[in-house]
Structures are given as structure tokens and as C-alpha cells.
Structure 1
Amino acid sequence: MRKIILPLIMLSLGALPLFAQAQDTSALWGKKYAEVKSSLLSAGWVLAPVAEDETPMTEDYPEITCGSGAMAICSVGFMRDKTTLALVVEPIENTLVVTGEY
């Protein structure tokens, strides 16, 4: 029942494309960030601006910023049209990997 009601509510709010986009992001999880970034940019996405007070994860990827504290995550944002995509990125075996979305 929930699977039917949620899309209907989102459709009535004009958010069904955002819901569908969110469902597709799991295909990016576990992939190298450099490959995901390249694919998204090729598909018309652009990097979301980073605030001046945010701390970059690495010099090579200043768009990836990290929070502070023991449970902080590192993330990067992309935008296309009126849609935003925020991905969680983690260093795994010296490689930046997309591990989720928030």
C-alpha cells in the first residue's frame, strides 16, 4: 500500500521525477568517485557550489567536503535543472568510492 501511496503523493506535489531519480542512485554506490563524477558531468550534471567555510576532503577533489566530529560524512553535490544529488564519498583502499546518497 505504501508503495502506491508515496508516488501518488509525490506526483500530486510534482516531485515524481525527483523520487525516480533518487531510486536510481544505488547504481552509483560502490563505484570510484572519479568515474561517477565523469559520468554525471557527461550527462549534463554540474558540481554544486561549495561554501567557503567547508573543508575539502582532498586537494584533487575540492568539491568533496567533510563535516566535523566522529560521525561526520564526506559528500559532494551535483545539480541538473531543478534536481540536486548529494553523494556520500569515502576513501576505501586509497580510492575515493561513492557509498551512498543523502
Structure 2
Amino acid sequence: MKAIVLAVSLSLAIAPAIAPAQELTGELAALGITAGMPYAKAKRLLDAAGWHVTPPESAQAALPDFPEIECGQGRDAVCSAGFHKDDQSVAMIIGTTQAGQPYVQGTY
């Protein structure tokens, strides 16, 4: 029984690392932003390149340290964060680790 619990725990812990990620847009890839990287690092890279957070539609922050991340409701809810620069915009799909740390899953 302990072996089964351990196996399930380990599979949940590595699920974010092996989950299929969507391709990143050229703008994000050019900045060195990759699927699986911590969101905080991606946000720093975007900020340094002159990108600005697009405010979320909801005032309720899903992750207090990152109020720009907005999450949908329900079973298949998706979390995302948007950025804009001049007339360009990008949006990232954000996942969270078991420890609650956000990471980049892909773009849409």
C-alpha cells in the first residue's frame, strides 16, 4: 500500500514537468521564455524587454504574489497572464506546481 501511495505522490509531483506544453509565440521564444520555466522569471524577462502586464478582467487574484494571473472556474479551468507592448500582445497559460509556484505552460 505504501508503494502505491508513493508512486501516486511521485507521479503528481512530476506531472507539471511532463505535461504537454503548447508552443510559445515567437515573441516569447525570442526573449528566452520556455515552457516549464518559472513564471516569475518569464515575467522579469518580459518586463526587462518593455512589456507591460495586461490587467486581468477579474479583481480576484488567484495567486496573491501575482495578481495579474487570472484563473477560470470549474473542473477544466485555465490560468493565464497577458502582456502587451506597443500594438502587440501575448498571453501565457500558467500552471502551478504542487507547492503552488506558477510556471509557463504555453501560450494562446
Q: TM-score, normalised by structure 2?
A: 0.67
Runs of 4+ in structure 1 off by over 6 angstroms are none
Instruction: Quote the sequence identity (%).
Output: 32
**How well do the aligned residues superpose, as a CA RMSD in angstroms?**
1.8
Letter in 2 for 1:72: A
SS at the partner of 2:74? Answer: coil
1:59 and 2:64 correspond: yes
Question: Where is the strand percentage greater, Structure 1 or Structure 2?
Answer: 1
8 A contact 1:55–1:66 mirrored in 2: no
- Provide the C-alpha distance between the structure 2 equivalents of 1:43 and 1:25, rounded to a whole number of angstroms: 10
Give the unaligned 5+ runs of structure 1.
1-20
| Contact 1:87 1:99 survives alignment (8 Å) | yes
Distance in 1, matches of 2:73 and 2:25, equals 26
2:14 corresponding residue in structure 1:
none
Q: Is the 8 A contact 1:58 1:64 kept in 2?
A: yes
- Name the CA distance, whole Å, in 1 between partners of 2:80 and 2:106: 9
Q: Gaps (5+ residues) in structure 2?
A: 1-23
Between the two proteins, the alignment pairs up a number of residues equal to 81
Q: 1:68-97, CA deviations, whole angstroms, 9 ceiling, x for partnerless residues?
A: 111110000000111111001111142211
SS in 2 for 1:41: helix
- Any idea what SS the aligned residue of 2:45 has? helix
Q: 1:44 to 1:85 in 2, by over 3 A?
A: same
Distance of 1:73 and 1:84 partners within structure 2? 18
Q: Is the 8 A contact 1:30 1:99 kept in 2?
A: yes
